[in-house]
Structure 1
């Protein structure tokens, strides 16, 4: 079987379904080609050792990676992002039509533009494809400010539905996503739920240092700091505690970071600290320094059926979790007995959850290990690879 994997996001960027995932598929006898661009996320600056070219080819343990040109900018504007997506869609289409005919295409990130590319290749080369829905477009865009009544929203909705129709199979990251697509008319038999896993799941960071017990708890949020994360309520909640009892460290970059830094100063949140972007390979080290890990998203119906990717990373870290997303994500933490939950954008509930966690400090190692066990049993990469192989084998059998 020859698999063509298309993703604008790929190693050495933080990519859940990246090189390690593909090497496990390759170990099952597959030939794998990857079409991606030059690594620049999330800073918009090319990673050291890379130079933007029209076309470059790498070999990593037998996985061939084809890097194509795309518009790259450190600007956070919507126009710059749209140009990035559109340019990669064009370049990757040319590349996908140029390489040897694959048996199956896996369209990964972002699912709309890679889904369009896969649809095009299917039209000309009669190749089945899988589309992987990591964000439920256009709903995800509406959750960050796009008007649902607007022309762009309607067009994107129609294009997404066409991609879902063209796809031979759809992978989604949550049961809620599957239900939403079924309500849009997609056949239930065409959809498989494969939970995301932690891209660096081999790293063990669950140990709790006894020398930290004498001081306040250190809570940590690591990830994008944008409109969807809506972290002002989290900062508000932490500002109600003294630095001696608890602190919050926010690791990452995003369009809301400067605004939130000013807000923290304005409300006197002296126990809230901001760190900049940290390379994906070093995130695990930072998580190991923390006592409790924080997840938060804006209070939006879409996010009730979303499982933020950091959920798996946090569960696998073996640390207790403060989850304030609602819906399916909160339920996972409750089922795993891996932490305490609160409603999103509710500073009072978040503050109550912080206080509850402080009072349960002796149980933190127990919560962390329970979360890690839950992850290994239900969300590990091995489980995801097994489900992916099942889909690929079924599609291959249909084409023979």
Structure 2
């Protein structure tokens, strides 16, 4: 049985797309006869405080569904203070650097990027040790940081980030890109680099669609995920126009905008936006079964980024209302997964909502079933992993 190591900044019981994505990769490799080890921080995301089971500990080794998980110390934080956030990143990165330097590691290593500093230090040490480095790129940094206005072009931080980005692409054995745009970007920098598309397909193991479409109830739109600045959920709540429509918006999640969102909802007379808080993945999927359409927003179009929610929820049978631009827009259109509104264009979004409001429940149920049938074949994680294994990626 071959060994493989995965390095990630997130892993369950942490919540969110990044943790779910890495867990799915680990489980699928395990199912294909790899002995998988994951190195990650002590659980703290998204609240930025250590989970009770990890408090007072420097490191923890545990087994989760056949995966050996080694958790290293981190000073957790979701502070907006730049110094505190850098300190948090450096704490885990430093522990990881010495772990990789002195511990025996498998010949094959998957390195998740971003965070950029984490992937840089990992690739640095692993290249010294002549390991096969499989760089799994889910977002393009620092490009995404520039588009989100978190970095200024030409600043010292930007120059350092560009150096680290080029270093990890150059020193990695091959690159897994979550989008065609990522593959194109890496290829533009290093034309001979082996690059492979690896989508964030889920693994729901459903033989049939489990969604219920309830008559005599409003059409229930939902957002489930991080309530951060990049997603723009607060602005969505402020600018979405549900007045006179047969539509409700249900919100699930946690993050920096949570308190503002709750305050805004409580100030509204017409309670058509309902906040449910953060639920674990299993409970969330049970709660979602009686809802109707997943909205996937981004505050700005980010080159290279394809929200995993497109795959996650369409694979359950949910139509997608996509509001983020870029490659995600193409995926929704080409696979007939629902509706697309121009990114940052709330006039267009509200026009799409009026179309959705006019749907009969029988029409909506038929749309769900068609999407479920399509995605069962098109977004198949088993086929994707087996194809990559056959090509010698892992």
Length-normalised TM-score, structure 2: 0.89
Structure 2 match to 1:398: none
2:114 to 110, 114, 123: 110
Compute the displacement of 1:9 (Å). 0.6
Work out whether 1:132 is the aligned partner of 2:125.
Answer: no
Match of 2:61 in 1: 57
- Return the offset for 1:291: 1.3
Give the SS at the match of 1:49.
Answer: helix
Whether contact under 8 Å (1:16, 1:196) holds in the other structure is no
Q: Which residue of 1 aligns with 2:173?
A: 168
Hey, what does 2:336 align to over in structure 1?
337
Residue equivalent to 2:315: 316
TM-score, normalized by length of structure 1? 0.87
Q: How does 1:1-400 map to 2 (within 5 A)?
A: 1-14=2-15, 15-60=19-64, 62-73=66-77, 75-146=79-150, 147-183=152-188, 185-187=189-191, 189-198=193-202, 201-202=204-205, 206-209=209-212, 212-242=214-244, 245-263=246-264, 270-300=271-301, 302-303=302-303, 305-361=304-360, 362-390=362-390, 393=392
Change in 2 beyond 3 A, CA 1:253/1:160? same
Q: Give the 3-state SS of the residue equivalent to 1:97 in structure 2.
A: helix
Secondary structure of the 2:126 match is helix
Corresponding pairs, count: 388
Are residues 99 and 374 of structure 1, via their aligned partners in 2, closer, same or farther at CA, if it must alter by over 3 Å? farther
Judge conservation of contact 2:175–2:193 (CA < 8 Å) in 1.
no
Q: Once the 2 structures are TM-superposed, how far is the Cα of residue 6 of structure 1 from its aligned partner?
A: 0.8
Alpha-carbon RMSD across the aligned residues, in angstroms, is 2.6
Q: What SS does the corresponding residue of 2:54 show, helix, strand or coil? A: coil
- Aligned-residue offset at 1:325: 1.2
Which stretch of structure 1 is more off in the superposition, 354-363 or 87-96? Answer: 354-363
Question: Aligned partners of 1:112, 1:100: CA distance in 2, in Å?
Answer: 23
Q: Distance in 2 between matches of 1:12 and 1:208?
A: 26
Give 3-state SS (helix, strand or coil) of 1:311's partner: helix
Q: Distance in 2 between matches of 1:109 and 1:282?
A: 29
5+ residue gaps, structure 1, are: 396-400
Task: Give unpaired runs (5+ residues) of structure 2.
Answer: none
Shift of 1:20: 4.5
Query: d(CA) in 2 for partners of 1:321 and 1:368?
Result: 10
Deviates more, 1:29-38 or 1:125-134: 29-38
